[in-house]
Structure 1
Amino acid sequence: MNAEKQTQDNVVSLYPAHYSPDDIKQIGEIKAWMAETNYKQAALARLARISSSSLSQILGGTYATAPGVLLLKISNAMKHAEDQAADSVVAVETGVYRVAMSAFQMARRYKNFSVLSAYVGTGKTFAAKHYLRNTPNTYLIEATPTMTVQSLVKLLARMVVGFDKGSIDDKFRGIVDELKDTDSLLIVDEAETLTPHVLNTLRRLRDMAGIGICLVGTEHLSGIVRSKNQNFDQIRSRIGYWRETIERISADDARALTESAFADDEIADDVAARLYAYSQGSARMLMEAIVPAIKQARSGRELSAALVDAVVQKALCLKPLALEK
């Protein structure tokens, strides 16, 4: 028996029988990651949305049942923490984020349309950009009110084919040829700004190339696609995923975002409640205005409801609103 095998056997012997070899390997990777990144165990537990005691027991080999499900949550939290280093907003799995992922995956899997409509600031665009960065064969178009069929096709040609030479029809057929028989997904953000002619062009692209398309937009998108105008009949019949419009993030979502932003702090219930009330249910307001203002003015002080009130009311002139959970 060589020294490496002896070491592996010694490590395995430290854990109970209900810990699988994959569990033990993953625990080693978690410990190494925390040591390398200097990430605190309590902060990782909060980001994974499990108790500190559960994480401690898992890592110490004293957790009473198989830890595979919680290890997956911890692994996802580590990935989120790494994303935080590159993103101004960490990819916390909020309710909006999960709905967005379902919309993207359903459109890709069944090569059909899906619709994601939500009020501004709820995180739908962030979810789309995160999915784009992390999923091959994904294309994102940010639509504008002035977008024409010609500008849409030119933009897609540059994205998909790499150039936009030839007539509009040549470019369109080149895009179809490039995407056909692939698992590609096209995400169209701000889709409520598109004209019926442009939407019809997207429908033809979906039909001819056999790809999934997700239309992402504000609450106005649902009204446009549901319109009795015959221009949208053929798109409606191709929609395989369409949830009710999301009006705001939940209190639990706001807390998860707050815990990711203040990873080294225990977030008291009154602090979480105040931050949610000031955010008015907007992830954007919370993460791009309120949290930076507090971090800027905090100067080492304890994160308290009084501090939140003082900073947010003075720096942002916001008043808390009573929001449903």
Structure 2
Amino acid sequence: MNDTATVTQIYQGDAALREQFRNLLAGDRRLSQATLAKEVGISPTTLNQWLNGKYAGDNEGVEVKLRIWIEADTHRRESSSQMPEAPSFVPTQTAMRVLGALSYAKIASDIAVIYGGAGLGKSSACVQFREQMPNVWIATMAPSTAGVVTALEEICDALSLTPGGGARRMSRAIAKRVRDTRGLLIIDEAQHLSVAALDEIRSIHDATEIGVALVGNDGVFARMAGGRNAQQLDRLYSRVGKKLRLAASSEQDVTEIIKAWGVDDIKCRAALVAVAREGGHLRRLTKTLRLASMHAAADGGRPICCEDVRAAINELMEGAR
């Protein structure tokens, strides 16, 4: 009898911990068993058997890993709740120019090229446009998606299509999905794409008359206008109906973002404008304001002052050294 009880105890493990994880999985739709198992460092089968009290292996070893994970997750959630959130989309002058170019491409079923330095808010404006308008999809490229097949796979993901089957099959599936939608396909970080991938996107536009926005750094347009690949991209270049170059953030951009963060101290403005003029532009400004707001929150939740801004700037400068 004692042997049977001992075996049952080993197989069942910690019932309270099991119930805690069952409730966690049931209450968080973003957390699947597969994701949890990967983060914990066990197999999905092991986790499933443990949750059902049927795991015949080392229950204590599994539970040690689960306790470590839940402690780390609790700490992460507590830290996230203390982290000041950036204001929702700020309609700066630059952002409105991006929205205007995207709107043109969608309404006219044309191709727009939006290009300029990093940190100017191009990507956030694209996300805002997608949230405001129907049938807008964003495919974000990377060095690993430079080729035709990998670029089409990324576009399939954006369209909630199952990628695979080769370039021709994916291109047809994409065309079928977007045709007659009067939608807009946004290709973010488009500078990573090869000539062949850019031409494939051009052919999808030709076949479906869907609007296309190529968004990225200066290299996106330079390659079409006068780079060594200009001749190979002449068919794409000739179809561009809207070109928007963003050289730098404007002083009005900076003012709007400072207001959105609730900074009332006028003496801070010069320092923050200088931050926005450095590499990273508005992105660096937002990082500075977020860090400054953490200093203010730690000091009783008061408004951001110049001391907070200076401390944030110094910390970010130290991190960059």
**Paired residue type of 1:219:** D
User: Which of these two proteins has the greater Rg computed from alpha carbons?
Assistant: 2
Q: Which residue of 1 aligns with 2:277?
A: 280
CA-CA distance at 1:195 after TM superposition: 0.7
SS at match of 1:230: coil
Q: Which residue of 2 aligns with 1:256?
A: 256
CA-CA distance at 1:285 after TM superposition: 0.5
Q: Which residue of 1 aligns with 2:316?
A: 316
Q: Which residue of 1 aligns with 2:185?
A: 186
Distance 1:185 1:313, change over 3 A: closer
Deviation per CA, 1:144-180: give whole Å up to 9, x if none: 2232111222333344363235443222112212211
Q: 8 Å contact 1:122–1:283 — kept in the other structure?
A: yes
**C-alpha separation between the residues in 1 aligned to 2:160 and 2:261?**
39
Q: How many residues align?
A: 227
Q: Which residue of 2 aligns with 1:136?
A: 134
Q: Which residue of 2 aligns with 1:104?
A: 102
**Paired residue type of 2:247:** E
Distance 1:104 1:286, change over 3 A: same
**C-alpha separation between the residues in 2 aligned to 1:94 and 1:161?**
31
1:122 pairs, out of 120, 123, 139, with: 120
SS at match of 1:93: coil
**C-alpha separation between the residues in 2 aligned to 1:146 and 1:128?**
22
1:219 paired with 2:218, answer yes
**Paired residue type of 1:240:** G
Distance 1:231 1:315, change over 3 A: same
Q: 8 Å contact 2:288–2:312 — kept in the other structure?
A: yes
Q: Which residue of 1 aligns with 2:233?
A: 232
Percent identity between the aligned chains?
Answer: 22
Deviation per CA, 1:71-94: give whole Å up to 9, x if none: xxxxxxxxxxxxxxx973421111
Deviation per CA, 1:48-81: give whole Å up to 9, x if none: xxxxxxxxxxxxxxxxxxxxxxxxxxxxxxxxxx
Q: Which residue of 1 aligns with 2:44?
A: none
Q: 8 Å contact 2:141–2:154 — kept in the other structure?
A: no
**Paired residue type of 2:260:** S
Distance 1:89 1:234, change over 3 A: farther
Q: CA RMSD in A?
A: 2.3
Q: 8 Å contact 1:176–1:209 — kept in the other structure?
A: yes
Q: 8 Å contact 1:161–1:175 — kept in the other structure?
A: no
Q: 8 Å contact 2:111–2:213 — kept in the other structure?
A: yes
Give the TM-score, by structure 1 length. 0.64
Distance 1:261 1:161, change over 3 A: closer
Distance 1:113 1:315, change over 3 A: same
**Paired residue type of 1:251:** E
Q: Which deviates more from structure 2 when the two are superposed, residues 226-235 or residues 155-164?
A: 155-164
**C-alpha separation between the residues in 1 aligned to 2:85 and 2:112?**
26
Q: 8 Å contact 2:293–2:308 — kept in the other structure?
A: no
Q: 8 Å contact 1:161–1:178 — kept in the other structure?
A: no
SS at match of 2:214: strand
Q: Which residue of 2 aligns with 1:177?
A: 176
Q: 8 Å contact 2:115–2:221 — kept in the other structure?
A: yes
Structure 2 unaligned blocks of 5 or more: 1-83
Q: Which residue of 1 aligns with 2:288?
A: 290
Q: Which residue of 1 aligns with 2:200?
A: 201
Distance 1:248 1:283, change over 3 A: same
Q: 8 Å contact 1:293–1:312 — kept in the other structure?
A: yes
Distance 1:154 1:292, change over 3 A: closer
**C-alpha separation between the residues in 2 aligned to 1:174 and 1:162?**
8
Deviation per CA, 1:164-208: give whole Å up to 9, x if none: 354432221122122111111000111111111000000000000
Deviation per CA, 1:94-141: give whole Å up to 9, x if none: 122111101111111111110111211111111112222332211111
